[in-house]
Structure 1
Amino acid sequence: MLADYVVIAVYIAAMLGIGWIGMRMARTKSDYLLAGRRLGWFMYSGTMSAIVLGGASTIGGVGLGYTHGISGAWLVLTIGLGILALHAFFARRLVRLRVYTVSEMLDLRYGGSSTVIAGVVMWGYTLMLTVTSTLSFATIFHVLFGLPSALGIVIGGAIVVLYSVLGGMWSITLTDIAQFVIKTIGIMLILLPAALVAVGGASGLADRVPAGFFDLGGIGGATIVTYVLTYGFGLLIGQDIWQRVFTARSPRVATGGGLLSGAYCLVYGFAGALVGTAARALYPHLGDADDAFATIVEHLLPSGVRGLVLAAALSALMSTSSGALIACSTVTTTDILGRFRRGAVGVTTSRITTLVLGLVTIGIATAVHDVVAALTVAYNILVGGLLVAILGGLVWKRGTRAGALVSMVVGSVVVLVSMAVDGLLANEPIYYGLGASLVCYVVVSLLTPRTDEEVLRTWNARLSGREAAETPAPVEA
C-alpha cells in the first residue's frame, strides 16, 4: 500500500497547493464567488462535469450497477440529461442576468423580495448536497488507512473546507480541473477496462450475472421517472449548478461547454454501471452495495494504480463537496445575511461563512449514513419547493410574485410532510410537492394582478443583454 499512500499524499498536497494559488486570485466578491466570470470552454466544461459527478454518481452509481446492472446508470444519466437541457434552453439567458444566486433571479423576475423564502429552501438543498459528498469520504479513507468512518469524514471534509475557504471559486475551479482529469483517467481509462478484463469481457460478464442486468429499464419505470423529476429537473435550478453557469465568460461558452459536459455525464453513467455490474459478477455476496466500488478497487488493481483510482474517487467527492459548499456560502451571504446587515458582503465575510458552514457540514455528515438518501432529501426539497416558481418565471409571463411565493412555501411543506409520512426514499414526495406547487402557482398567479410592466421591462432588458448588473470582468486569455 506504500505506493498508494504516496499517490494520495501527492494528490492531497496538490489540492491544497492549488487552493493557495486560488487565494491569490480571489480579490473581489466576483472573484471569490464566481471566478470573476472569466472561464473559457475547457475550464467551464471541466468544472461543470466535476461538480455534478460526485460521491453519489461515482460510489453510489457503482452501487446501483451492483444492484440493478446497466439500468443502475439512470441516476447519472438523468443528471447528464438535466445538464444538456439546462445548457440547450436556459444557459445563455442565465449568463446575461449577471446575478449571483437563484433568489436574485426570482427577485428580478417577479419584483419585490422573495429572497428569504427561496434562500432558505436553496440553503437546505446546498447544505445537504455538501453533506452527501462529505459523507462519502468515509469509504475512501477506510479502504486506504482502515480509519473509522467519522475520522475519514473529518479528514476529507477538512481538506475541502481549507482550499474552499482560501480561494473560493477560483480555488475550486482550479482544483476541479485537476480532479476532472484524474477522475477521467482513474474511472474510465483504468477501472472500467480492468473490471471488464477481469470478468472476461462482455460475454464473460453476461454469463456471470442475471439476464435482467442488461435491461436498461430493469430498475423500474417509476424509479426512472422519479430520477428524471428529482435529478434531471433538479439540475435545471440548483444554486450549485447556476453558480457554475455564472462563471462562464460569455453565453456562447456556457452553452457549448455545458453541452460537452452533459455528453460526458452520459458516458460516465454507463461506465459506473458497468463497473458495478462487474463487481456483482466478481463479488456477488457483498453486504452493502455501496461497498462495491471500494471492494473492486482494493482487490482488482495493483498498488500505485489503486492509489490513482482512489484519488479519482476522492476527486469526485471533493469537487461536488466544494462546489456545494461555496454555493451554500453564497446563498447564506447574499440571500440571508444580506437581508439583515448594512453594506456589501466582502471576501472576508464570505471566507468566514464558508468556514462555519464547512464545519457544520462535517458535523452533520458524521451522523448520516446513507449517501443516496441524503441526496434524495436535498433534491426533493429543491425540486418540490422551487422548480415551478423558477421555470415558471422563465417561460410564463403571467406568473406573479404572489404565485411564486405560495408555490414555494406549499411545495416545500408538502415535500417535507410526505417524506416524514412515506419515507425519505419514497417516490411520492416529489410528485405531491410538484403537483401542489404547480396548482398553487397557476391559480394564485391568475387570481392576482399581473407583474408590473416596469419590472418586466427590466427583466427583458437583462435577459437580452441590453442591461448588465455589473461591469463585465476581463476576458480570460
Structure 2
Amino acid sequence: MNVHLIIVIVYLTSMVFLGMYFAKREVKNTEDFMIAGRRLPGFILVGTLLATWVGSGTIVGGASFIFQYGPLASIIYFAGGPIGIMILYFIADKARLLKKNTLPEMLENRYGSTTRLVATVFILLAYVGITAYQFIGGGVILSMTTDISPETGTILIAVFVIFLAVTGGLFSVSYTDFVSAILIVFGFLIAVPFLLPKVDGFSGMVSALPDSHVSWSGGLTFPQLLGFFLPTFLLILGDQNMYNRFSAARDEITAKKSTIGFFFGNVIIISLAIFIATTAVVLYPEIQSDTSIFHIAANAVPVPVGSLILVASIALVITTANSFLLSIAGNIVYDIYSRFKGTLTDRQHLRFSRMSVILLGILAYVLGTFFPSVLEVQMYSYTMYGAAITPVVMATFFWKRANTAGALASIITGGMATLFWELVLNKPFDWNSVLFSLPLSVAALIIITLLTSKKKDIASMDTDSTIVHQANDKLPGGR
C-alpha cells in the first residue's frame, strides 16, 4: 500500500470520528443539524465558507480550464468568486438577521409561497448536479492516489459523503471544512518552492507555455470566455450555502466580517491553483487536463507534500458535497415536506432530514453518470442556479419594485432556458447556456414586474415588506 493511500485513509477515518463526535455532542434538534444551532464562531465560519466554495469546481474543473486555456484566461474564469464575495459583504449581516433556514424561505418573505416552491424546484435541479460533480471529482482524485478506477472512486466518495452528512450535519461539516481549508492552503504553499526550480522560475514557466496560454483569451472567443465567468459569479451571489452559513453565524457582525477572510482565502487558493496547474502544462503537457493538480502532487513534489495536497483535495470535495447535500435536504424538509404535511415534531424533522440526505446523495450519483467531465456538469449546474435563482435573490436585496409575478417569471424562464439550451439545442456555437438564459431571466424579471405593477398604486409599493429594508431597520445604526 503506497504512502499517499495510507495518509488518505488516516485522514478520512479521522473525519468519520469527528462527524460521529459532533453528532453525539452537538446535534440535538433540526436547527443543530441544518444550521449548527446558529452559533458558529468567526474563524470556523471563514473556513466553512472557503471550503464549501473551493471543491471540485476549483481543483478539478478549474484546473482543467487552466490546463486547457492558460493562467491569464483562468484569472477571468475565477474572478467571479472574489467579485461576488465583495457584494456578499453588504448582504451577510442582513441574511443572518432574518434567521431563515433556507433561501426559498427568504424569498417567501417578499414574493409569497408559490415563489418559494418554484425556487425550491430549481435549486434542487442545480444542487443535485453540483453534488454530482463533487462525487466525480473525488473519484478522479482517488484514482490518482490508488489503483482503483475513477468509477469505483466516485462510488466510494459518494458513500463517504452521505455517511458524514447524515451523522453530524452542519456542525461536523463546518469544523472539518475549517481543517480542510487550512490543509489546502498550506499544501499548495509549500509546493511552490519545490515546483519553481523545475520550471526555471516564473519567467521560465511563461516562456515554456504555448502561445494560446499566454493570452487573456486563451484562444476562446469573448462570448465563450464570458460564458465561463458568469456562472461562477452568479452562483456565489445566490448560493444557498452562503446564506445558510451566514444564518449559522453566532451574530450579524460575525456573518459580515467572515466575508473578509473568505475573500482573501479565496484569492490565495485561486492564485496557488493557477500556478500549480500551469506548471503541469509545462512539465506534463500530455496528461488529462482535469488531473493536472493531482499529477503534480503525485509526481513533482516530495511525498509528504503531495500527500498533503491529495488529502486536502479529497477533504474539500467531501465537505463541499456535504454542504450541498445538507442544503437541499433542508429544502426538501422545510420548503416541501413540512408545508404539505403540516407541523412536524423536531424528531420527525431530524429523521426526515437524514433520509433526504441519503436519497439526494443517490440521485446525485446517478446524475453524475450522464456527464463526461467535471467542467461540463459544473457549467450546467452553475448556470441552472445562476440564471434561475440569482437575479431574484439580488432583486430581493437591491430592487424594491420587484414583485411576485416578476420573480416567478424570472425563475421559470431562467431555469427552462438553461434546460432548452443544454438539452434541446445542444449548446449552439459552443456557448455556455448562461449567455442565453441569463438575459432572458433578467428581462423577464424587469418586464413582468413593470407590466404588472402598472395595475397597482405605486405608493403601495413603498410599503411592501422587503428583506433589505426590514433587515436595515433592525441593524445597529440602521445600516
Task: Give 1:432 deviation, angstroms.
Answer: 2.3
- What corresponds to 1:335 in structure 2? 335
Q: Mean Cα displacement is larger for which, 35-44 or 104-113? A: 104-113
Which residue of structure 2 lines up, in the alignment, with residue 63 of structure 1?
A: 64
**Residue in 1 aligned with 2:206?**
206
- Structure 1's 16 and 455: CA in aligned 2 closer, same or farther, altered over 3 A? farther
Residue 102 of structure 2 is aligned to residue 101 of structure 1? yes
The 5-angstrom pairing of residues 155-194 of structure 1 reads: 155-186=156-187, 188-194=188-194
Alignment equivalent of 1:395, drawn from 398, 401, 408: 398
SS in 2 for 1:301: coil
CA shift in 2, pair 1:327/1:176, >3 Å: same
TM-superposition CA deviations, 1:361-414 (whole Å, max 9, x none): 223334433101111111111121122222122222221111111221122212
**Mean Cα deviation higher: 216-225 or 13-22:** 216-225
* The one of 406, 412, 415 aligned to 1:409: 412
Q: In structure 2, list runs of 5 or more residues that go unmatched.
A: none
- Helix, strand or coil: the match of 2:161? helix
Q: Indicate how the Cα distance of structure 1 residues 460 and 270 shifts in structure 2: closer, same or farther if over 3 A, else same.
A: closer
| Paired position in structure 2 for 1:435 | 439
Partner of 1:4: 4
Q: Once the 2 structures are TM-superposed, how far is the Cα of residue 33 of structure 1 from its aligned partner?
A: 0.7
Shift in CA distance, 459/210, structure 1 to aligned 2, threshold 3 Å:
closer
CA, structure 1 residues 132+455, in 2 after alignment: closer, same or farther (shift >3 Å)?
Answer: farther
Give the C-alpha shift of residue 112 in structure 1: 4.4
> What whole-Å deviation, never above 9, does each CA across 1:42-62 have from its counterpart, x for those lacking one?
111111000000012012222
Report the CA distance shift for 1:438/1:366 in structure 2 as closer, same or farther (over 3 A): closer
Do the aligned partners of residues 179 and 430 (structure 1) sit closer, same or farther apart at CA in structure 2, a change above 3 Å counting?
same
CA-atom RMSD in angstroms? 2.3
- Does the CA-based 8 Å contact 1:419-1:426 persist in structure 2? no
Structure 1 residues 455 and 319: alpha-carbon distance in aligned structure 2, compared to 1, 3 A threshold: farther
After the TM superposition, which parts of structure 1 deviate over 6 Å for at least 4 consecutive aligned residues? 451-455
Contact 2:384 2:418 (8 Å CA) reproduced:
yes
The CA deviation string for residues 170-207 of structure 1, in whole angstroms up to 9 with x for no partner, is 11111111111111122x22333322232121132123
| 1:346 alignment partner, SS class | helix
Structure-2 separation of matches of 1:90 and 1:37 = 17
Provide Cα deviations, 1:342-374, integer angstroms capped at 9, x if missing partner: 213611111111122122222333443310111
Distance 1:111 1:137, change over 3 A: closer
Q: Is the 8 A contact 2:45 2:258 kept in 1?
A: yes
Matched, 1:445 2:449: yes
SS at match of 1:147: coil
| Residues 23 and 215 of structure 1: CA distance in aligned 2, closer, same or farther (over 3 Å) | same
2-structure distance, mates of 1:425, 1:324: 31
Aligned to 1:291: 291
> What code does the residue aligned with 2:392 have?
A
Tell me the residue number matched to 1:47: 48
- Distance in 1 (alpha carbons) for counterparts of 2:275 and 2:114: 47
1:144 aligned residue: 145
Contact kept, 8 Å, 1:213 with 1:277, in 2: the verdict is: no
Q: In structure 1, how many angstroms separate the alpha carbons of the residues matched to 2:464 and 2:49? A: 30
Distance change >3 Å, CA 205–CA 408, structure 1 → 2: same
Distance of aligned partners of 1:66 and 1:454 in 2 relative to their CA distance in 1, 3 Å threshold: closer
* AA matched with 1:209: L
C-alpha contact (below 8 Å) 1:422/1:428 kept by paired residues? no
State the alpha-carbon separation in 2 of the partners of residues 293 and 424 from structure 1.
31
Residues 196 and 414 of structure 1, relative CA distance in 2, 3 Å threshold = same
Change (3 A) 1:453 1:65: closer
SS at match of 1:369: coil
> What does residue 281 of structure 2 align with?
280
Task: Name the CA distance, whole Å, in 2 between partners of 1:230 and 1:400.
Answer: 24
User: In the alignment, which residue of structure 2 is the partner of 1:365?
Assistant: 368
> Mean Cα displacement is larger for which, 246-255 or 119-128?
246-255
Question: Which secondary structure state, in structure 2, belongs to the residue aligned with residue 456 of structure 1?
Answer: coil
* Distance change in 2, residues 1:379/1:298 (3 Å): same
Q: Which stretch shifts more, 344-353 or 146-155?
A: 344-353
| SS of equivalent to 1:343 | coil
Equivalent position SS for 1:285: coil
TM-score, normalised to structure 1's length? 0.91
Q: State the distance in 2 between where 1:180 and 1:388 align.
A: 29
Measured at CA, do residues 239 and 307 of structure 1 come closer, stay the same or move farther in structure 2, by a change above 3 Å?
A: same
| 8 Å CA contact 1:65, 1:273 repeated in 2 | yes
Contact residue 77 and residue 265 of structure 1 kept, 8 A: no
State the match for 1:474 in structure 2: none
Q: Deviations over 1:258-317 (max 9, x none)?
A: 12212221222121111111111111222x211222222221133343222210110221
Following superposition, the deviation at residue 214 of structure 1 comes to 3.8
Which sits farther off after the overlay, 345-354 or 70-79? 70-79
User: Compared with structure 1, are the counterparts of its residues 219 and 347 closer, same or farther at alpha carbon in structure 2 (3 Å cutoff)?
Assistant: farther
Moved more, 16-25 or 76-85: 76-85
The number of residues matched between the two structures is: 464
Contact 2:135 2:157 in 1 (8 A): yes
* Structure 1 gap ranges (5+): 468-477
Letter in 2 for 1:77: A
Q: 1:463 pairs with 460, 465, 471, which one? A: 471
Range 116-125 or range 453-462, more displaced: 453-462
Distance 1:383 1:447 in 2: 24
What is the percent sequence identity of the aligned residues? 22
Counterpart residue identity of residue 295, structure 2 = T
Bigger drift between 444-453 and 307-316 goes to 444-453
The 3 A distance-change label for structure 1 pair 265 and 42 is: same
Secondary structure (helix, strand or coil) at the match of 1:136 reads: helix
User: How far, CA to CA, are the matches of 2:45 and 2:156 in structure 1?
Assistant: 28
1:41, 1:194 → 2: CA distance?
Answer: 33
CA-to-partner distance for each residue in 1:87-132, whole Å, 9 max, x for gaps? 2x21121111111111111110123431211000011111111111
Tell me, yes or no, if the aligned pair for 1:69 and 1:274 is still in contact at 8 Å: no
Match status 1:318 vs 2:326: no
Alignment of 1:245 with 2:241, yes or no, is no
- 8 Å CA contact retained: 1:115, 1:336: no
**Code of the aligned partner of 1:75:** Y
Alignment partner of 2:427 out of 395, 398, 423: 423
CA apart distance, 1:428: 5.4
2:387 is matched with which residue: 362, 384, 389? 384
Q: Any idea what the Cα deviations from partners look like across 1:423-459, whole Å, max 9, x if unmatched?
A: 2994352132222222222222223245966983474
In structure 2, what is the Cα distance between the partners aligned to 1:422 and 1:97?
A: 41
